[in-house]
Amino acid sequence: MKVGIIGSGMVGATSAYAIMMRKAASEIVLIDANAKRAIAEAQDISHAVPFVAAAEVYAGNYDDLAGAKVVVIAAGANQKPGETRLNLMERNAAIMRDIITRTIAVAPDVIFLVATNPVDIITHICISIGRELGIATTRFIGSGTTLDTARFRSLLGQHIGVDAQNVHAYVLGEHGDTEVLVWSTIDIGGVPLEDFIAFRNITFNDKIKQQIEDNVRNAAYQIIEGKGSTYYGIGAAIARLVEVINRDTRAVLTISTLAEDVEGVKDVCLSLPHLISGSGDMGVLPVQLNVKEKMALKRSASLIREKVDAYLHL
């Protein structure tokens, strides 16, 4: 099971390390415009291999992607002083086109995992490029709110004293400020949240709920303020996605991909629960939202659509 990672910055390198530690692939290829960085990261990660399981980790080029089932896109341009976000997006679009074109030349059936931010817009751009090149939309998966959902489950699990893996809750919409925490459908091991709280006599009120929301929504800002960037969480999320695809485990994850209609907003990339398999995205699953959540999801979809439209009219 070979996986390629384009971009050997903190997100790309941490994803490679997490994939190795999770034993999600037996061969990991790191590619970066800065070849020395890719070589150094690959060497460093390979030194941890003897403590885990047999895996080959090395720096390479696009030819080395032949036979890869998954390619993670963690590359992108940084904003220059005085540069608008839209112009930055135009440069990133050129980078994505180069990556996709060069990858499919040697690995025509590969599945792309997009981690570059803003992930919903970059995923939309990648899907548009893919359509031009004849690549199925289902082969583009944005990391979306997989990490946000994990944060939500973790914080809620901590408060109610339950392993986060038994907390079934979703964060939908934009991977950003307008993301929607879905409270109405939460269950704890199959028991509705309200019933679980009542049965266990757990203190839970609007103030606690708001604290959890704020901590999920502002987690990235808090981490960036403290250490400059986030990479462990998203690295683990990417590793989980790689594992699901490589092993065809058919897991439900909140990934970002193109939706034809979200509460009246047409053709927008955002996160919804999807079934993921060895062939990529198998489609969205239905979620019963209340009126407030539907309105919030529509706002989130509208904002993303506005940003995409602004880019398309450059």
Q: How many CB atoms lie within 10 A of CB 182?
A: 22
Q: Which CATH number fits domain 146-312: 3.90.420.10, 3.90.550.10, 3.90.110.10, 3.40.50.300?
A: 3.90.110.10
Question: Under CATH, which number does the domain 2-142 receive?
Answer: 3.40.50.720
Q: Of 299, 280, 254, 301, which Cα lies nearest the Cα of 113? A: 280
Element (H, E) at 22: helix 10-22
Cα→Cα distances 309→95, 211, 239, Å: 19, 34, 32
**pLDDT (0 to 100) of residue 79:** 66
Domain with CATH 3.90.110.10 in the chain: 146-312
CB contact at 8 A, 17 and 41: no
Domain with CATH 3.40.50.720 in the chain: 2-142
Q: Which amino acid is at 73?
A: I
Contacts of 187 (CB under 8 A, 6+ apart): 168, 193, 196
Give the three-class secondary structure for 138. Answer: helix
Bridge partners of 4, per DSSP, are 29, 71
Q: What is the DSSP letter of 302?
A: H
CB contact at 8 A, 146 and 237: yes
Cα→Cα distances 52→5, 201, 291, Å: 20, 42, 48
**pLDDT (0 to 100) of residue 81:** 74
**pLDDT (0 to 100) of residue 168:** 96
Token pair for residue 85?
């976000």
CA dist., res. 8 & res. 156, Å (int): 33
Strand 180-188 relative to strand 167-172, pairing = antiparallel
Contacts of 271 (CB under 8 A, 6+ apart): 120, 142, 144, 145, 146, 148, 171, 172, 173, 174, 175, 179, 254, 255, 256
Kindly give the parts of the chain with pLDDT less than 70.
79, 313-314
Cα→Cα distances 126→2, 153, 224, 257, Å: 21, 29, 26, 10
Q: In this predicted model, what pLDDT tens digit does every residue of 24-35 receive, in sequence order?
A: 999 999 999 999
Cα→Cα distances 143→66, 75, 196, 238, Å: 23, 14, 30, 7
Q: Which residues are catalytic?
A: 175
**pLDDT (0 to 100) of residue 221:** 87
pTM of the shown model: 0.93
Q: In this predicted model, what pLDDT tens digit does every residue of 58-116 receive, in sequence order?
A: 999 999 999 999 999 999 877 677 777 777 788 888 999 999 999 999 999 999 999 99
Cα 4 to chain centroid, rounded: 16
Token pair for residue 33?
């415009």
